[in-house]
Amino acid sequence: MEEASAIEKMAATVKALAAARVARTDVWRRRGDRSAAHELARRTGTSVGQAAQALETGRRLSALPETAAAARRGELSAQQASAIADAAGADPSAEAELLDQARRSSLQELKDQCARTRAAALPDPEARRRRIHDRRYLRTYNDSEGAWNLHMRDNPEVGAEIMAALAPIRDRLFAQARAEGRREPLEAYAADALAELARDASNHDASPAEPSATETGATETAATETAATETRPDAPGPAKPKRSSTNAKIMVRVDLEALLRGYPAEGECCEVVGYGPVAVSAIDDMIRTTDPFLVAVATKGKEVVGVAHLRRRPTAHQQSALEWLHPTCAAEGCSALGRLEMDHRLDWAKSHVTVFDLLDRLCGHHHGLKTHEGWALVEGTGKRAFVAPDDPRHPRRANAPPGAA
């Protein structure tokens, strides 16, 4: 399987490089195609979008010899090569780091890092925000099976607000299905949540207006966290159920200097966790207007102060700091974002202490392997290898006396 995969990657690279050379000629014009991408799509049986991506990757690889060499060796998939070529085209100095990450990370994690690299290379994040806004769209189509599909493009902060509104509905549907013994992918409940949200909005517009509860979003920093409050109008009438502020949380992370200055300098962070880099003005707008519970973690570099307490569950401060540092599962190569579980490296049943520096976030799959089959993260912090009990890097084996090891 690995050999076949390497061959496939090599072939995709050869195709992209050759197609880029052909595109520089006028062959596609003489054959009556609209563009070089249309001609490649017709000849290879792929979509125009895929063909255009392959052509662009082929063009960029000519200026990135290290990436091109790795792709020719079968070390990069077409998606990995495309992501690295796109980011390294904006910042050539990041090429080596991105290649190293491609070897040890999932595709989604690589794409996230590439997005950060591209954003950092842009001289004007505000112009990027305006450009994406100007090119926003929502499109629908029916696929070959007859299913309705929805595709939307907008700025990351807009996506974060939409998903935060869906989160409590999705989680309620998930819990209801579990109670009834039904098991479906989380994405299925997210689709149901969007449909329910749309129906509720339609029914609300069609019915007479009535007073409802209004939630005030609270801004939470690494130093101060304030719970969302609910205010009700004095006029009579039933109020809507209170939204779960815990589930409808949006987390942004921004260097304090960047927030005060109005734009990030080199090396500073300004992003919506799980959605990518944003302009500082987007953070300002969300702090002023966002309805769901907003967590704004102001930082200085990547430092977060360690905190310990005597309860099993992390404090709200620790929870937010962990979500800031580790937005995905801590297991290397896993890009799971949803329903991550807190894991104590030092068994709480023995220590009765929850120490920030000894907490990790694991997805249900990896947490199950740790709990029931003895798997563990290797020693260290952040994303790292998740190994079986017989692996020499396993903490129990690594810390055992030489003879036992």
Interval 286-335: pLDDT, tens: 777 655 567 777 666 655 433 334 344 566 666 777 777 778 888 988 88
Q: How many domains does the chain have?
A: 2
Question: Above pLDDT 90, what percent of the chain?
Answer: 27
**pTM for this one?**
0.55
Q: Is 255 domain-assigned?
A: no
Tell me which of 300 and 149 has the higher pLDDT. 149
**pLDDT tens string 323-350:** 777 788 889 888 887 778 888 776 656 6
For residues 314 and 124, what is the distance between their CA atoms, to the nearest angstrom?
Answer: 38
Nearest to 243 by CA among 193, 184, 288: 193
Q: Is 221 domain-assigned?
A: no
Domain containing 364 equals 306-405
Confidence band for 81, pLDDT divided at 50, 70 and 90 = very high
Q: Is 146 domain-assigned?
A: no
Q: Is 95 domain-assigned?
A: yes
First-to-last alpha carbon distance for the chain, in angstroms, is 33
Nearest to 251 by CA among 215, 216, 220: 220
CB-count exposure of residue 266 (10 Å: 0-12, 13-18, 19+):
exposed
Rounded to a whole number of angstroms, the CA Rg of the chain reads: 24
CB of 290 closer than 8 Å to CB of 250: yes
Q: Is 297 domain-assigned?
A: no
Given 106, 121, 136, the domain boundary residue is 121
Given 91, 121, 151, the domain boundary residue is 121
Q: Is 139 domain-assigned?
A: no
CB of 136 closer than 8 Å to CB of 104: no
